[in-house]
Structure 1
Amino acid sequence: MKIAKKIFKYILYFLLIPVTYIIISLILSVITIDRKANDENFNKSIYLSTNGVHLDIVIPKEDIDSLVLSGMKHSETENYLSFGWGDENFYLNTPTWGDLTFSNAFKAMFLKSSTLMHVTRYKQKRTDWIEIKVNEFELQKLNTYLFSTFQSDENGMKILLKNKGYSPTDDFYKSKGSFSCFNTCNSWVNRGFKESGLKSSLWTPFDFGLLNKYK
């Protein structure tokens, strides 16, 4: 009987950790950091894109800083670029949710690992993107944030992983930082918005944390 009680106690403790994480995450996701700019000329557009779990930042190519574009694959007919950040092992070994394994998920959430920037190129705007009007200063701050995330080689060039994209229109580049349950792909996007002076969550690991601010 004592053994059964101990087992039950351990199970309870084990379940308490993810439940506490979810509750705190939801609370912090709801708390809004207001936009810094007021009554500005919001004449530029950026977009949020989601696959239902993972957020990307989408920017018209004409509004992407030359430093961000430098060394990046793109063609004249591709007018929009989306930027997503995440765990390298998860990105490369889980191209679809059907490929998800417990091992890959556990490594991404709890073990220190290298990360990648996932860049996808589009010829035209998609109807499911959420448009956000920004001013020149906010756009430049966001470009600076993107540039600072890319990892560079000894010559200052972006490090492309050749032939690792999911399709002919996307690529992976080495990036800075380590993914964890406290530093997710979505918290990376949210932090970029926060540093750019845009409306954001206090912190969120979920895509809906930021999406709900702009719907």
Structure 2
Amino acid sequence: MKIAKKIFKWILYFLLIPITYIIVSLILSAITVDRKANNENFNKSIYLSTNGVHLYIVIPIKDVDSLVLSGIKHNGSENYLSFGWGDENFYLNTPTWGDLTFSNAFKAMFLKSATLMHVTRYKQKRTDWIEIKVNESELQKLNAYLQNTFDTNESGMKIILENKGYSSIDDFYKSKGSYSCFKTCNSWVNKGFKESGLKSCLWTPFDFGLLNKYK
């Protein structure tokens, strides 16, 4: 009987951790950090994109800072770049949810690991992107945030993983930082918005946290 009680207690502890994480995440996602700028010239556009799980920051190539653009594969017919950040092992070995394994998920969420920037090139704007008007200062801060996330070699150049993209229009680049359940692909986007002075969540690991602020 005592053994059964101990097993039941451990099961409760095991369930309590993810339940607490979800509750706290939802609460912090609902808390809005207001935009710093007011009544300014918001004459630039950026976009939020999601694949249903992962958020991406999309910027017209003409508004991508030259430092950010340097070393990124692109051509003259492409007009937009989307930027995402995440766990390297998860990105490369879990291209679809059908490839998800417990091992990959556990390593991404709880173990220190290398990360990548996922950059996708588009010729045209997609109808499902959410447009956000920004001013020049906000755009510059967002560009700086992106540039500071890329890792570089000894020559200061971005490090591309050749032939590792999912298609002909995307590539992976080495990045700084380690992924965890507290620093997810979506919290990375949210942090970029917050540091740029844009409306954001206090913290969120979910894509809908930030999306809901702009719907």
Aligned length: 215
Which residue of the partner structure matches residue 84 of structure 2? 84
Paired amino acid for 2:198: L
CA distance, structure 1, for counterparts of residue 51 and residue 15 of structure 2 = 28
Which residue of the partner structure matches residue 196 of structure 1? 196
2:69 counterpart of 1:69: yes
Which residue of the partner structure matches residue 18 of structure 1? 18
CA distance, structure 2, for counterparts of residue 82 and residue 97 of structure 1 = 21
Which residue of the partner structure matches residue 141 of structure 1? 141
1:197 Cα deviation after fit: 0.1
1:157 Cα deviation after fit: 0.1
Q: Percent identity?
A: 86
Paired amino acid for 1:51: N
- Helix, strand or coil for the counterpart of 2:212? helix
2:174 counterpart of 1:174: yes
2:99 counterpart of 1:96: no
- Helix, strand or coil for the counterpart of 2:213? helix
Deviations, residues 83-130 of structure 1 (Å, cap 9, x unaligned): 000000000000111111111001000000000000000000000000
- Helix, strand or coil for the counterpart of 1:178? coil
CA distance, structure 2, for counterparts of residue 102 and residue 127 of structure 1 = 34
- Helix, strand or coil for the counterpart of 1:3? helix
- Helix, strand or coil for the counterpart of 1:131? strand
Paired amino acid for 1:58: V
Which residue of the partner structure matches residue 37 of structure 1? 37
CA distance, structure 1, for counterparts of residue 47 and residue 144 of structure 2 = 17
Paired amino acid for 2:194: K
1:31 Cα deviation after fit: 0.3
- Helix, strand or coil for the counterpart of 1:121? strand
Which residue of the partner structure matches residue 53 of structure 2? 53
Paired amino acid for 1:81: L
- Helix, strand or coil for the counterpart of 2:73? coil
CA distance, structure 2, for counterparts of residue 98 and residue 14 of structure 1 = 25
- Give structure 1 regions of 4+ aligned residues with deviation exceeding 6 angstroms: none
Which residue of the partner structure matches residue 132 of structure 1? 132
CA distance, structure 1, for counterparts of residue 108 and residue 94 of structure 2 = 11
CA distance, structure 1, for counterparts of residue 122 and residue 129 of structure 2 = 12
- Helix, strand or coil for the counterpart of 1:213? coil
Paired amino acid for 1:132: I
Paired amino acid for 1:23: I
- Helix, strand or coil for the counterpart of 2:35? coil
CA distance, structure 1, for counterparts of residue 41 and residue 124 of structure 2 = 25
CA distance, structure 2, for counterparts of residue 75 and residue 101 of structure 1 = 36
